[in-house]
């Protein structure tokens, strides 16, 4: 059985304002005070894990040990099936040193061209992944993994969301996740699904 969360304060182990904002909005109904690793000046640990689960756990444990508070970490990424699952856990690295998502989206297109991947729904499928790790100062960790299947489109469309949202179109939809409202996106997104699993397991 998962451990229930009943404390008043939680560290969100991220320096990404977009992710922190989404997490804050999703946990607002539970009356938990949210502070980010950036707010506390916590250093981000090296993401040396081979999986989303390993990286999320690394970040959550580092934040809870540094702050003495329970910590929630997110590790997410985009796996493009025709590229052997890349960028996967290296999704942020594909954005270059300035962390510009457009750089990453263009690199995907360059890889498609180099591998002669046809521009079809079946050839350019992809999956967004989100693993959430909730860690307590005693070292206990709860993990959940949410996914969203879709395809890569070009050129990018939409101004909402963040990261690779403008080039990702969920299966069965004619809009990218960047063309959706926050409410629409959260209802279907990999992060939204992971949060609903976490809430069911640890907050209810």
- We report the CATH number of the domain holding residue 29 as 3.90.950.10
Active site residue 75: yes
149 φ, ψ (degrees, to nearest 5): -90, 145
User: How many of the other CB atoms lie within 10 Å of CB of 3?
Assistant: 14
Burial degree of 204 (CB within 10 A; 0-12, 13-18, 19+): exposed
The residue range of the domain holding 40 is: 9-203
Mean pLDDT score of the chain, rounded to an integer?
93
> Over 80: is that where the pLDDT of 179 sits?
yes
**29 lies in a domain?**
yes
Options 39, 74, 75, 149, the catalytic residue: 75
**3 lies in a domain?**
no
What's the DSSP call for residue 87? B
Higher per-residue confidence, 1 vs 130:
130
Determine the pLDDT at residue 14. 84
**2 lies in a domain?**
no
Determine the pLDDT at residue 162. 85
**87 lies in a domain?**
yes
Number of domains in the chain: 1
Determine the pLDDT at residue 44. 86
**89 lies in a domain?**
yes
Task: Find the angle CA(199)-CA(22)-CA(154) to the nearest 5 degrees.
Answer: 120
**79 lies in a domain?**
yes
Q: How many helices (H) and strands (E) does the chain have?
A: 6, 6
For residue 7, whether the previous peptide bond is cis, meaning omega lies within 30 degrees of 0, is no
> Over 90: is that where the pLDDT of 186 sits?
no
Cβ neighbours of residue 107 under 8 Å, at least 6 residues apart?
87, 94
Nearest-angstrom CA–CA distance, 152 and 139: 38
Question: Which residues are paired to 151 by β-bridges?
Answer: 125, 169
pLDDT > 70: percent of the chain: 100
**45 lies in a domain?**
yes
**143 lies in a domain?**
yes
């Amino acid at each position: 059985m998962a451990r229930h969360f009943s404390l008043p304060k939680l560290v969100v182990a991220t320096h990404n304002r977009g992710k922190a904002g989404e997490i804050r909005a999703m946990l607002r109904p539970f009356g938990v005070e949210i502070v980010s690793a950036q707010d506390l000046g916590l250093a981000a640990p090296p993401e040396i894990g081979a999986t989303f689960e390993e990286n999320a756990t690394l970040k959550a444990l580092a934040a809870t040990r540094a702050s003495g508070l329970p910590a929630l970490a997110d590790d997410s990424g985009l796996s493009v099936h025709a590229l052997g699952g890349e960028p996967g856990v290296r999704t942020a690295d594909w954005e270059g040193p300035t962390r510009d998502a457009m750089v990453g989206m263009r690199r995907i297109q360059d890889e498609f061209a180099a591998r002669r991947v046809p521009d079809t729904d079946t050839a350019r499928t992809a999956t967004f992944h989100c693993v959430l790790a909730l860690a307590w100062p005693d070292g206990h960790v709860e993990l959940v993994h949410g996914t969203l299947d879709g395809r890569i489109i070009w050129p990018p469309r939409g101004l909402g969301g963040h990261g690779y949202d403008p080039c990702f179109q969920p299966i069965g939809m004619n809009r990218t996740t960047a063309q959706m409202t926050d409410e629409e996106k959260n209802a279907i997104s990999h992060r939204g699904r992971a949060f609903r699993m976490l809430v069911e397991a640890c907050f209810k």
